[in-house]
């Protein structure tokens, strides 16, 4: 499958295994790359920059010349953005995915290193800004995505961005099958980013309860909560989520909206959310906080990454071949 994305990045298929917090590790990234897609991981999945650097060495040794990506959160609340970026540059990361801030420095440094940069976007205004900064592409994060989902349907966001941009677009949000891949490419995307589907994979090393929850959940079970990071993010509705609620309390809101305190308040809210997510992803706990997107409704079983990718491609071909053709 050749698209502007595969031509630019060098992957066999136009698919990114989305970088998921506390989920995407060396094993999952390597399995994705070996299956012909782009494995991706957030730099913050490791407790220190040095541990992250060692993980990059392991990935590089495992995947060879196959392309992989690292997600860096570039807003001021991420105190590790600079050292993690340096580690990526030192280790020759070929593709960066930026989130939640200005990618200006990442774009400049990555391009000096011969790497590419794709930026998460949820609207056309920000997409134009990152294109002007020199981004190589954008990831259109739409409704239905896991984590920090956008507010616009992919049916609108992808063609709207296509209308206004000249760089490749990666569709993200609610895509878990080959039919979703076919639809995204038809809308004007040159690739897709799939996250939740790969949580339910053999190589994913999260708690088995998390995987079972992904398989069992329906789209209606996905809710938006601000309790994790201060910014609305999607999680599976569980008894614990219902207990703590979906919104910040008045004091937290005030601290996050006050110039003198918002930076540190953001850090504290993030720290709390990270601890919840880490506990639920790594061990059995009653504090069940599982990040996921609406694609859970299309996931029926846990399978190896290679099998998932094979299904995606065969479903894509079946969908394309099954489309009705207009008669002249």
DSSP string, 61-78: HHHTTS-EEEEEE-STT-
Question: Exposed, middle or buried, 274 (CB in 10 Å: 0-12/13-18/19+)?
Answer: middle
For residues 65 and 31, the answer to whether their CB atoms sit within 8 Å is: no
Dist CA 58 CA 144 (whole Å): 32
The pLDDT of residue 250 is 62
Check residues 328 and 107 and name the one with the higher pLDDT. 107
Q: Residue 208's closest CA among 308, 291, 281, 294?
A: 281
Q: Please list the residues that pair with 72 across neighbouring strands.
A: 98
Highest mean pLDDT among 107-121, 147-161, 216-230, 257-271: 107-121
| Predicted confidence (pLDDT) per residue in 65-100, tens digit | 999 999 999 987 788 899 999 999 999 999 999 998
Q: Please list the residues that pair with 224 across neighbouring strands.
A: 234
Dist CA 6 CA 155 (whole Å): 22
Two tokens, residue 278: 């880490």
Residue 277 exposure: Cα atoms within 13 Å on the Cβ side? 23
Question: Exposed, middle or buried, 224 (CB in 10 Å: 0-12/13-18/19+)?
Answer: middle
Least confident of 34-43, 54-63, 289-298, 313-322: 289-298
Task: Tell me which DSSP letter residue 227 carries.
Answer: T
| Predicted confidence (pLDDT) per residue in 260-277, tens digit | 665 555 555 555 555 555
Least confident of 43-47, 211-215, 224-228: 224-228
- Residues 6 or more apart whose CB falls under 8 angstroms from that of 127 comprise 119, 121, 138, 140, 161, 164, 165
Q: φ, ψ for residue 172 (rounded to 5)? A: -140, 135
pLDDT for 62 beyond 90: yes
Domains of the chain plus CATH, in order, are 4-205+299-321 (3.20.20.70), 208-294 (no CATH)
pLDDT for 192 beyond 80: yes
SS3 191: strand
For residues 43 and 72, the answer to whether their CB atoms sit within 8 Å is: yes
Check residues 114 and 22 and name the one with the higher pLDDT. 114
Mean pLDDT of the chain: 88
Q: Residue 136's closest CA among 193, 90, 97?
A: 97
Element (H, E) at 96: strand 95-99
pLDDT for 144 beyond 80: yes
């Amino acid at each position: 499958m050749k698209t502007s994305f595969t031509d630019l990045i060098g992957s066999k298929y136009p698919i990114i295994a989305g970088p998921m917090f506390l989920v995407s590790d060396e094993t999952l990234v390597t399995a994705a790359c070996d299956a012909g897609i782009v494995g991706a991981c957030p730099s913050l999945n490791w407790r220190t920059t040095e541990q992250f650097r060692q993980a990059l060495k392991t990935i590089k040794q495992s995947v060879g010349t196959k392309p992989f990506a690292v997600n860096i959160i570039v807003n001021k609340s991420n105190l590790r953005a600079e050292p993690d970026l340096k580690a990526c540059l030192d280790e020759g990361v070929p593709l960066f995915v930026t989130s939640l801030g200005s990618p200006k420095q990442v774009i400049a440094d990555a391009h000096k290193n011969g790497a590419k940069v794709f930026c998460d976007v949820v609207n056309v205004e920000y997409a134009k800004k990152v294109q002007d900064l020199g981004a190589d592409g954008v990831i259109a994060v739409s409704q239905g995505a896991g984590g920090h989902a956008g507010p616009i349907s992919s049916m609108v966001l992808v063609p709207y961005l296509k209308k206004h941009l000249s760089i490749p677009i990666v569709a993200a949000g609610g895509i878990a099958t080959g039919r979703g891949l076919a639809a995204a490419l038809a809308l004007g995307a040159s690739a897709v980013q799939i996250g939740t589907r790969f949580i339910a994979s053999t190589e994913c090393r999260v708690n088995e309860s998390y995987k079972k929850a992904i398989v069992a959940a329906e789209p209606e079970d996905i809710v938006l909560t601000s309790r994790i990071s201060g910014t609305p993010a999607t999680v599976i509705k569980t008894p614990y989520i219902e207990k703590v609620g979906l919104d910040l309390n008045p004091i937290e809101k005030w601290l996050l909206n006050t110039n003198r305190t918002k930076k540190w308040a953001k850090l504290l809210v993030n720290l709390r959310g990270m601890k919840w997510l880490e506990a639920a992803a790594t061990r059995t706990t009653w504090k069940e906080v599982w990040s996921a997107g609406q694609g859970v409704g299309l996931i029926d079983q846990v399978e190896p990454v290679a099998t998932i990718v094979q299904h995606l491609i065969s479903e894509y071909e079946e969908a394309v071949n099954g489309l009705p053709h207009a008669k002249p």
